[in-house]
C-alpha cells in the first residue's frame, strides 16, 4: 500500500463488537492510522463478561445465535470455542403465583401452541399489516379454540400467554408486542442451527480476543493488534463533518479534539436517538434522522442471583412466573409493582448455583434505578411467592443496567410500527455521509492509466448492530456491520485484499 493510504487517519467511535471488528479489519486491509475512541473505561460495549459465582457471566450478549451464515460462529468454530446450551429455554417449568407447577401435559401443549413453527410465522407475517402482538394474540386464541385444546383451562392459558408475551418482548427488546411490526419482524433472519451456543467458561468476551488476536496473550487486558490504538474514557460530544478541508473534527467531552480523514460511528441506536441533534454538526440529512427516529431500540435487563447451593430440582432448567390475576393486586400500586415484568429465571452454563432472571420494558428501566438491596429483596419475594421450597439467602447478585448508562440507552434494536410508518430501515442508517472529492490514487490501479475524476468520499460512516439489514440486535450483525464499513473504505481506496496482521508487525 502506498504511504498515503497507510496514513489516512481513521477514527472509530465505540469499542463494542462492531468497532473492534472494524478496526481489526482495517488493519488487515493495511490501514495503519486507526484509532478507537471509547467512552467507557472498558472494551466490548454490549459484550460485557464479568467474573461471578463459579465462573463468569455476560451482562449483555451471551449466546451466538445460529450457525449457518453466522460470522461469529464461523470465527469461533475454527477454535472450538462454542458449545450448545441445550433446551434451557424450552424445557422450563411454568409456575403460578400460588406455587402450583403446571403439569407437563398442560405446559407442553401451551408451549406447542406458541411455538408454532417459525416457517408458519414467516409465511403468515408476510401478509400482516398489523403488529406482532395482534398476530400472536389472534393465533394463540385461534389455536386455543380448537377442539383438541378445549380441556385447557382458559385462566391458565391467559396467564401463560401473558408470560409468553413478556418473553417475546425480551427477544425483541420491545415494551409491548403491539409496538413491534409484524412484517418488520421478518427483516430479521435467524441463522440456521443451534441458536443458543455459549462460550463455555470464557464468556462472550472471547470473541473480542479472537478478533484482536489476543487469546494467546497472558494478560486479559492485552488488546492484541489494537494495543495502543484504543483510548478509553473518551466520549465524543460533537462530530463536525462540514469543514472546508473535507476532514472531520471530533470534540470530546474532556476538552480534547482531533481531526480525521474518516470517522466510523458505531454507538448504539439509543445513543443516536438521544444525541444526534447535538452530536452532528451540521445536523444529519433528513433520511438519516428518519432512520434514527423510526428504527426502534428498547431495554431488556438480566438479574443474576447466586445461591450457596442449588435449591431447584436437577431436571429444572428454569421456571417462568405465571401471575394469577388475584395475586397481582398484592404488588400492583406498591413499590414492588416492577416485579410483574420479571418473567422467569433460568440456569446459566458453567454456573451450578446461579439463576439468571430477565426483566423487560419500563419496569426493567425502573429496576435499574433501585438500590441493590431492594432489587435483591424483590427477587427473593418472587422466589418465595412462586416456589414451595425453603429458599436460602443469596450469596451473590448482579443486574445489568443498559438504559441508565448514557453510553447505551437500551439493549438492542427492533422494527416497530413507526419503522413501517416512516418507511425507513437499516440501509438508511448505514448510509455514509460523503463529500465530493477527486478519486484517490490507488496502489492497485495502473497509475499511467488512472484518470482522476470526481467522486463521493465517505467521511462519516455508520456501523453498529442497528445498521445491519437482517442481523440487527446481535453480535454477528454488529461484527458484519464493522467489516462492511472497513470494506467501504478499502473499496474507496481501491484496496482489494486483506493482509495478515500480527501484533509483532505493528
Ligand X SMILES: Cc1cc2nc3c(=O)[nH]c(=O)nc-3n(C[C@H](O)[C@H](O)[C@H](O)COP(=O)(O)OP(=O)(O)OC[C@H]3O[C@@H](n4cnc5c(N)ncnc54)[C@H](O)[C@@H]3O)c2cc1C
Q: Which residues contact ligand X by CB under 6 A? A: 13-19, 37-40, 45-47, 60-63, 65, 235-236, 266-268, 271, 300, 302, 400, 402, 407-408, 411-412, 464-465, 473-475, 478
The minimum distance between CB 266 and ligand X, in angstroms, equals: 5
Task: Measure the CA–CA gap between 410 and 305, rounded to whole angstroms.
Answer: 22
The minimum distance between CB 155 and ligand X, in angstroms, equals: 32
The minimum distance between CB 17 and ligand X, in angstroms, equals: 4
Strands 412-414 and 296-298: antiparallel
Task: Measure the CA–CA gap between 323 and 337, rounded to whole angstroms.
Answer: 12
Q: Which is nearer to ligand X, 135 or 304 (CB)?
A: 304
Q: Which is nearer to ligand X, 159 or 172 (CB)?
A: 172
Spell out where 361-505 has E strands: 396-399, 412-414, 433-438, 454-462
Q: Which is nearer to ligand X, 358 or 492 (CB)?
A: 358
The minimum distance between CB 42 and ligand X, in angstroms, equals: 8
Q: Which is nearer to ligand X, 227 or 327 (CB)?
A: 227
The minimum distance between CB 259 and ligand X, in angstroms, equals: 16
Angle subtended by helix axes 154-172 and 132-144, to nearest 10: 150
Write down the H helix ranges in 331-456.
Answer: 361-369, 372-386, 417-422, 426-430
Residue 37 falls in which region: left (phi positive, over 0), alpha (psi -120 to 50) or beta: beta
Grid cell for residue 405: 448508562
Task: Measure the CA–CA gap between 322 and 184, rounded to whole angstroms.
Answer: 29
User: In degrees, to the nearest 5, what angle opens at C-alpha 367 toward C-alphas 366 and 369?
Assistant: 70
| Residues with Cβ within 8 Å of residue 337, at least 6 apart in sequence | 331, 363
SS3 55: strand
Q: Which is nearer to ligand X, 398 or 407 (CB)?
A: 407
Peptide bond into 282 cis (omega under 30): yes
The minimum distance between CB 14 and ligand X, in angstroms, equals: 3
Question: Is residue 407 a contact partner of residue 265, using CB atoms and an 8 Å limit?
Answer: no
Question: Is residue 152 a contact partner of residue 197, using CB atoms and an 8 Å limit?
Answer: no
The minimum distance between CB 463 and ligand X, in angstroms, equals: 7
| Residues with Cβ within 8 Å of residue 58, at least 6 apart in sequence | 47, 48, 49, 203, 204
| DSSP percent split of the chain into helix, strand, coil, nearest 5 | 35, 20, 45
Q: Which is nearer to ligand X, 400 or 424 (CB)?
A: 400
Q: Which is nearer to ligand X, 355 or 387 (CB)?
A: 355
The minimum distance between CB 431 and ligand X, in angstroms, equals: 17
The minimum distance between CB 445 and ligand X, in angstroms, equals: 33
Q: Which is nearer to ligand X, 300 or 459 (CB)?
A: 300
Q: Which is nearer to ligand X, 177 or 263 (CB)?
A: 263
Question: Is residue 361 a contact partner of residue 169, using CB atoms and an 8 Å limit?
Answer: yes
DSSP 130-161: SBHHHHHHHHHHHHHTSGGGTTS-HHHHHHHH
Residue 178: CB atoms within 10 Å: 15
The minimum distance between CB 148 and ligand X, in angstroms, equals: 35
The minimum distance between CB 220 and ligand X, in angstroms, equals: 17
Q: Which is nearer to ligand X, 16 or 425 (CB)?
A: 16
Q: Which is nearer to ligand X, 53 or 440 (CB)?
A: 53
Amino acid at each position: 500500500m502506498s504511504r498515503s493510504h497507510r496514513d489516512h487517519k481513521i477514527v472509530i467511535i465505540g469499542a463494542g463488537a462492531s468497532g473492534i471488528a472494524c478496526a481489526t479489519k482495517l488493519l488487515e486491509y493495511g490501514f495503519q492510522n486507526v484509532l478507537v475512541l471509547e467512552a467507557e473505561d472498558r472494551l466490548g460495549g454490549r459484550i460485557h463478561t464479568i467474573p461471578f459465582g463459579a465462573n463468569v457471566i455476560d451482562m449483555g450478549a451471551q449466546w451466538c445465535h445460529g450457525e449457518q451464515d453466522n460470522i461469529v460462529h464461523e470465527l469461533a468454530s475454527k477454535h472450538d470455542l462454542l458449545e450448545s446450551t441445550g433446551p434451557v429455554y424450552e424445557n422450563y417449568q411454568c409456575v403460578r403465583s400460588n406455587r402450583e407447577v403446571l403439569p407437563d401435559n398442560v405446559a407442553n401443549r401451551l408451549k406447542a401452541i406458541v411455538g408454532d413453527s417459525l416457517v408458519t410465522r414467516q409465511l403468515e407475517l408476510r401478509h400482516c399489516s398489523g403488529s406482532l402482538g395482534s398476530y400472536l394474540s389472534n393465533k394463540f386464541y385461534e389455536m386455543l379454540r380448537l377442539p383438541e385444546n378445549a380441556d385447557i383451562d382458559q385462566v391458565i392459558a391467559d396467564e401463560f400467554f401473558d408470560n409468553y408475551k413478556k418473553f417475546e418482548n425480551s427477544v425483541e427488546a420491545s415494551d409491548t408486542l403491539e409496538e413491534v411490526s409484524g412484517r418488520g419482524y421478518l427483516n430479521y433472519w435467524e441463522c440456521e442451527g443451534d441458536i443458543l451456543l455459549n462460550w463455555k467458561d470464557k464468556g462472550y468476551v472471547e470473541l473480542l480476543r479472537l478478533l484482536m488476536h489476543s487469546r494467546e496473550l497472558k494478560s486479559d487486558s492485552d488488546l492484541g493488534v489494537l494495543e495502543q490504538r484504543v483510548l478509553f474514557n473518551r466520549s465524543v460530544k460533537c462530530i463536525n463533518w462540514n469543514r472546508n478541508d473535507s476532514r472531520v473534527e471530533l470534540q470530546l467531552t474532556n476538552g480534547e479534539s482531533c481531526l480525521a480523514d474518516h470517522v466510523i460511528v458505531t454507538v448504539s441506536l439509543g445513543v443516536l436517538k438521544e444525541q444526534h441533534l447535538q452530536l452532528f454538526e451540521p445536523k444529519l440529512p433528513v433520511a438519516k434522522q428518519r432512520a434514527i427516529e423510526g428504527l426502534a431500540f428498547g431495554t431488556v435487563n438480566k438479574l443474576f442471583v447466586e445461591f450457596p447451593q442449588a435449591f431447584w430440582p436437577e431436571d429444572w432448567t428454569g421456571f417462568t412466573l405465571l401471575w394469577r390475576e388475584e395475586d397481582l393486586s398484592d404488588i400492583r400500586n406498591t413499590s414492588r409493582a416492577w416485579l410483574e415484568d420479571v418473567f422467569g429465571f433460568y440456569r446459566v452454563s458453567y454456573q451450578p448455583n446461579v439463576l439468571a432472571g430477565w426483566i423487560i420494558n419500563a419496569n426493567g428501566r425502573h429496576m435499574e434505578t433501585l438500590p441493590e438491596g431492594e432489587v435483591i429483596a424483590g427477587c427473593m419475594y418472587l422466589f418465595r411467592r412462586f416456589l414451595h421450597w425453603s429458599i436460602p439467602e443469596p450469596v451473590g447478585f448482579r443486574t445489568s443496567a443498559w438504559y441508565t448508562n448514557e453510553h447505551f440507552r437500551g439493549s438492542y434494536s427492533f422494527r416497530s410500527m413507526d419503522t413501517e410508518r416512516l418507511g425507513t430501515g437499516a440501509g438508511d442508517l448505514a448510509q455514509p455521509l460523503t463529500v465530493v472529492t477527486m478519486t484517490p490514487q490507488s496502489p492497485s490501479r495502473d497509475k499511467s492509466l488512472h484518470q482522476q475524476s470526481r467522486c463521493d468520499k465517505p467521511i462519516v460512516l455508520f456501523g453498529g448492530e442497528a445498521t445491519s439489514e437482517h442481523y440487527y440486535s446481535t453480535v454477528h450483525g454488529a461484527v458484519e456491520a464493522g467489516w462492511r464499513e472497513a470494506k467501504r473504505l478499502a473499496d474507496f481506496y481501491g484496496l482489494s485484499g486483506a493482509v495478515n496482521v500480527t501484533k509483532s508487525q505493528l
